[in-house]
Structure 1
Amino acid sequence: MKPLTLTEVVAAEFAPETTYLNTSSCGLSPRRTVAAVKAAAEQNATGRDTFDFGPVAAARASFARIVGVPEERVAVGTAVSVHVGLIAASLPAGAEVLCPEGDFSSVINPFAVRGDLKMRYVPLEELAESVRPETSLVACSAVQSADGRTADLPAVRAAAAAHGARTLVDATQAAGWFPFDAGLFDYTVTGSYKYLLAPRGTSFLTVTEEAQESLTPIHAGWLAGEDVWGSTYGPVGQLARSARRFDEPPPFVAYAGAEHSLALLEEIGIENVREHDLALAARYREGLVSLGHTPIPGDSVVVSVPGLAHRVDALAAADIAVSVRAGNLRASFHLYNTIADVDRTLDVLAG
């Protein structure tokens, strides 16, 4: 049987009722994900399979393949800020953390609230050159939430290695469309409800084998034990030898959906999604320029435009979903968007 095209898959899996250009806020759920969540909730209501670990394991393995690491290096959780908080708690007092100015709060705040770390902020384009011998950790987003700019990750990684600093990359705005090798960084964190199309309440942490030794699993419960059902009472005798020791207790219903969202992306292929998404973003950028507007430069599926935030209400009235971030009008494109979506949005902006 001939494989379905991306267009055919999208038609079978998605049913947007608006012109939805807001994946950087939240991705749309595929039909298969919705069905799995409903089925898991029904099972819970009937008392069947209330502890179904299968979807959690499947989602972990699928995410590992998408970001190019062994599944033994992946921990599951519920939110980026919790994963970052775990890393923040591992740093000694006085350690320097280097971040881009204006990066997403979940990447920065867990370090800032400690109060005994040296926080240093520099422009994104100066991040790599700002790493110095005193730097303990460089933390940044692969793609900036506010405006879609992408970090020079190879340069950041090289600079950190040269100065003995560890690296933390937030892939929330990247994983799902951006070919991303998580194994190149000490830690990565990813909220999966955006471009990975999973339900809210699902997230992933990757940890290199070396960096794993530097973390204390401060929220480890019985599910973080090597022998899960032998770890239910008293102190856990043996934590998992893998990154599973850093798991949060997973919300089973949400992960029942995540399994299917990630499987869908694997079926389509991240490179195919990337090609589709970037083509739409490029068409939108070109259209904006033709209307006399200058979007923030970048090769990203997130397109942010200064001076157009006031048009968000007109777009909403036309049933076009975008967002305003950092004072700019932000549109973000994903596999369920079409050329017609782009052109319709440009028509409204043209008045």
Structure 2
Amino acid sequence: MSHSSKKAVITAIIANGIVTVIKFIAGALSGSASMSNEAVHSLMDTLNQGFLFLGLREGERPADGVYAFGHGQKKYLWNLWSAIGLFSIGSGLGMAHAWHSWEGLGSSHIIETVTILGHEISSLSLNLTVLGIGFVLEGYSFLVAMKEFLIRMRSAGEQNPFRFLAKADDPTLTAIVLEDSAAMLGLALAALGITLTAMTGHAEYDIVFSALIAVMLGGIAFYLGFINMRFLADMRDTEAEQLFQEIVEDHPELERYHDLRSIIIDEQHTVLVAEIELKEEAMVNGLQQKITAAQQHILDELAGNEQQREQLQQYAFDRAAVEVIISRTEQIIDEIERDIKARLPRVSHITLEVEGVCASETPPAPGADPLCSEEHPAHS
């Protein structure tokens, strides 16, 4: 998680905390259903962003004896609790308040003026002033989040913000952008409902727009829950798998691959697993010279005289052959790993198993694959 993303979360917490307090005061004084639901909306935003911050803090903890790949997935869990819990509760409270306000239409009246510090002002002026303050504070939070969002979008080569919003790999930043966007829309809905009620004298407008705010909260809860569920369900990293396929096709020493799989741990860690087969010429070319050189080195280290050298000839040859083959295999695997990580740094763990060596120029016999000689698996 970048410093800018954390800044977006902290900014949103401060802005929404201030706005929550003044909205609750205005809602209590004016009796506006829209303002009350906007206060609940801002409260849910503030609590949710607090959860997001806790998730960021927990997710930054390194790997340990219990969490082998770090604590990165914890932020998805906090985000999921926040989305399903807080926003669902906020939506339910908002709908309940709208329903009770609707039921009480016949016995209630519109509060036209309120008294603050000995001065009477109209409810419309109070509510619009509070909404204006909220627009400034939440608008600043929105700009901070959108700046980071657009930077991420351009670095990913994407031009359409809506398309990037659907596939972005940072659900925390996505949550902040959606919440701040919904906050701005909620302010507009509340202002419209309050103004129409003041102009017409019909409280129905205020109640209907307050219900729309509650429905919007429910929609955000569903979408954010869906986004975080993806990362908690062992989702494959299709971009990493596609990159691996391209590397195998272009690599001069790889014949084919099998059983390619990947798991996204978090947005900074992907685990990639595959089985590969090497081309015969990749292993055979220059093999004899390397084995002979390695054999000579082993004999020089172990043998003190000519008689000992003759006795150790076969041992030295067998050991040299094993060392050269393993070294060459590890070299190829290291090349693949460096290439993948250079082009997609989030692929943090790669395990490749060498299944065999194939003579690619000779067609396989029907019903068999005699061209591939099995080797002991090698891992990276």
For the criterion TM > 0.5, the same-fold answer is: no
Higher relative contact order (CA 8 A, sep 6+): 1
Say which one has the larger Rg.
2
- State TM-score, norm by structure 2: 0.21
TM-score by length of 1: 0.22
